[in-house]
Structure 1
Amino acid sequence: MNTQKVNMALEAICNTGCNCVNAVIHTLESGYQVKGVEDFDIAETTMLVNELKAIMAVYACRAK
């Protein structure tokens, strides 16, 4: 697993705002890909989703 790659994607996604982050979480959890993470393996995708959810919890924006 490439944590640096996950961290870079995490930063890019978070810079898009809460609504977009929630959409990315929903899309990835539905089994679809989003731009910038097409080459992520399952472990990297899982790590990304978990990190996004943790960040959204801090900002009190609930992932759907």
Structure 2
Amino acid sequence: MSGNARVDSAVERLCADGCQAVREYILALQERRSLAVFEGLDGAERELLLRELQAIMAVYGDCCRL
């Protein structure tokens, strides 16, 4: 976990949506698109969220069935 309560909460919430959704969230964060699921997070927190999601998804590689 990141140590930031808002980011940690967002990670848990977003990961519950499944792998494909998380990959889409990562792409949106990389492209600096604003989605409703990122509301309440400032720019630094969104960067931290991106790093956290990327680290989690690195475990799965290209193989994810959710």
TM tier, smaller: 0.7 to 0.9
1:19 matched to 2:17? The reply is no
What TM-score, normalized by structure 2, do the two folds share?
0.81
TM-aligned CA deviation for residue 61 of structure 1: 3.6
CA contact (8 A) 1:18 1:61 kept: no
**2:4 paired residue number:** 3
Let me know the Cα RMSD of the aligned residues: 1.8
What stretches of structure 1 of length at least 5 have no aligned partner? none
1-structure distance, mates of 2:62, 2:42: 26
1:35 Cα offset (Å): 2.1
Runs of 4+ residues over 6 Å off in structure 1: none
Residues 28-58 of structure 1: CA distance to partner in whole angstroms, max 9, x if unpaired?
A: 1111122232221111000000000000001
TM-score, normalization by structure 1: 0.83
Number of aligned residue pairs: 61
What is the aligned-residue identity percentage?
A: 36
